Structure 1
Amino acid sequence: MKKLLLTLVLGSGILIANAQIEKLAGPRLGFVSISPGPLADFLHDGFDFEGKYGSTGAAFTTLYGWQWESRFADGGGEIVGIVEWIVLVGGMEKGMFLPSASSIIGARMDNGLELGVGPNLSLSGIGMVFGVGYNFKSGNLNLPINISVIPGRAMDETWDGTDYEYNSGTRIAVTLGFNMSR
């Protein structure tokens, strides 16, 4: 009986604490510029990019996706901690499906300025994303605008006995979206 009572008390405490964490979600739209490298070559020439090794130049594509945000460490002060999950798809205007997912931990100041860092998973591999942005508020409506950078990585691969050294390409993205506070 004590275990059951303890389980119920702990369970209700967790539910009450979780109910007080503000959670937001909403669509994201934007664009990304990709520095010369294999990803930019792929965006320019599709699967016919072999042998280009960054010679096609930088690339540009649109982004579409969704963002989930949870606020934590909100002591009523000027700074609140945030965790964001952002799933984006790029390349659709070129007939391509280029997914990416990021998990970002950061902070938002009461003036709307936000910054964060976290891992990014995309077709070019795993990298770190660094972001800064501003959250415009109008009543319960939030309008976040963010700039993020995913640095390119120096890579070396062996293909058919030939060694290749290349940079995956730095990605700089601008996204905007909206969500509603409850």
Structure 2
Amino acid sequence: MQKLSLSYFIGILLLSSLLINPLPAQNVYSSDKVDFSQFNLGGPRLGVTVAPNGDLREELEDQNMGPILSQFGWHFEYQVVPEGGGPAFVIQMVPMVAGVEYGKLVPHGTLAMGIRLPSGIEFGIGPNLLYTGDSLYTALVMGIGKTFNYGGVNIPLNIAFATNPSGYMASFVFGYSIIQGKKK
């Protein structure tokens, strides 16, 4: 019994010493100052969304709309990039309207936070709100894409997947933005 208590005490002591000291990954300091560039990127977005199942699809059908909707909107993006290279840290807000081909306006918006790698590959996640006139739907959106740069103009191609307990939606969205930057 005494051996078990001593082993238990030593185990607790070792575990608590790990919790008190920062782990090496948390304690990395660099003497080099990192400078960042900030960019505000904005531009039009258009695309298509499919709502293949769930309450949203039923509500769209009740309003004489199909499960495939056009998308039109504007993309607001704030980006911070380390000047020495590396990934860009991105926050984006994308208000859009859907369903114009059915003579309807279905407003929705997404706030996404993510990372864009130097290769242009990007991914992000965030909340989405969609209002059909009768119901307000919330969803978690996950997106991935690639941004191509041609002479200071970014051309993003993205796919997104939005899910909630009432069903899911899948989208393909593209557009352009012109780089407007400032250093900090």
CA contact 2:52–2:168 (8 Å) conserved in 1? yes
Write the deviation string for residues 126-163 of structure 1: whole angstroms up to 9, x where unpaired: 2211000100110101000110111131xxxxxxxxxx
CA distance in 2, matches of 1:74, 1:120: 29
Displacement, 1:169? 2.1
Counterpart pick for 1:120 among 128, 147, 157: 128
* Matching of residues 18-167 of structure 1 within 5 Å: 20-46=37-63, 59-123=67-131, 124-153=136-165
Shift of the alpha carbon at 1:36?
1.7
- 1:152–1:175 Cα change, 3 Å: same
Q: Distance in 2 between matches of 1:36 and 1:108?
A: 31
The equivalent residue for 1:162 is none
The offset of 1:73, in angstroms, is 5.0
Q: Which amino acid aligns with 1:111?
A: S
Any gaps of 5 or more consecutive residues in structure 2? 1-34
Give the % identical residues.
Answer: 29
Secondary structure of the residue aligned to 1:21 is strand
Q: Which stretches of structure 1, 4 residues or longer, exceed 3 Å deviation after superposition?
A: none
In structure 1, C-alpha distance between the alignment counterparts of 2:107 and 2:167, rounded to whole Å: 16
Deviation at 1:75, TM superposition (A): 4.4
Matched to 1:105, the amino acid is: M
Instruction: Give the 3-state SS of the residue equivalent to 1:128 in structure 2.
Output: strand
2:139 is aligned with what amino acid? G
Provide the rounded CA distance (Å) in 2 between the counterparts of 1:78 and 1:32.
Answer: 32
The total of aligned residue pairs comes to 142
Distance (Å, rounded) in 2 between the aligned partners of 1:115 and 1:98? 25
Contact map agreement 1:74 1:81 (CA 8 A) in 2: no
Once residues 172 and 126 of structure 2 are traced to their aligned partners in structure 1, the CA distance between those partners, rounded to angstroms, is: 17
- TM-score, L = length of structure 1: 0.72
Q: TM-score if structure 2 supplies the norm length? A: 0.71
Q: Is the 8 A contact 1:143 1:179 kept in 2?
A: yes
For the residue of structure 2 that corresponds to 1:77, the secondary structure is coil
Say which one has the larger Rg.
Answer: 2
Distance 1:74 1:129 in 2: 26
Q: Extract unaligned runs of 5+ from structure 1.
A: 1-16, 50-57, 154-167
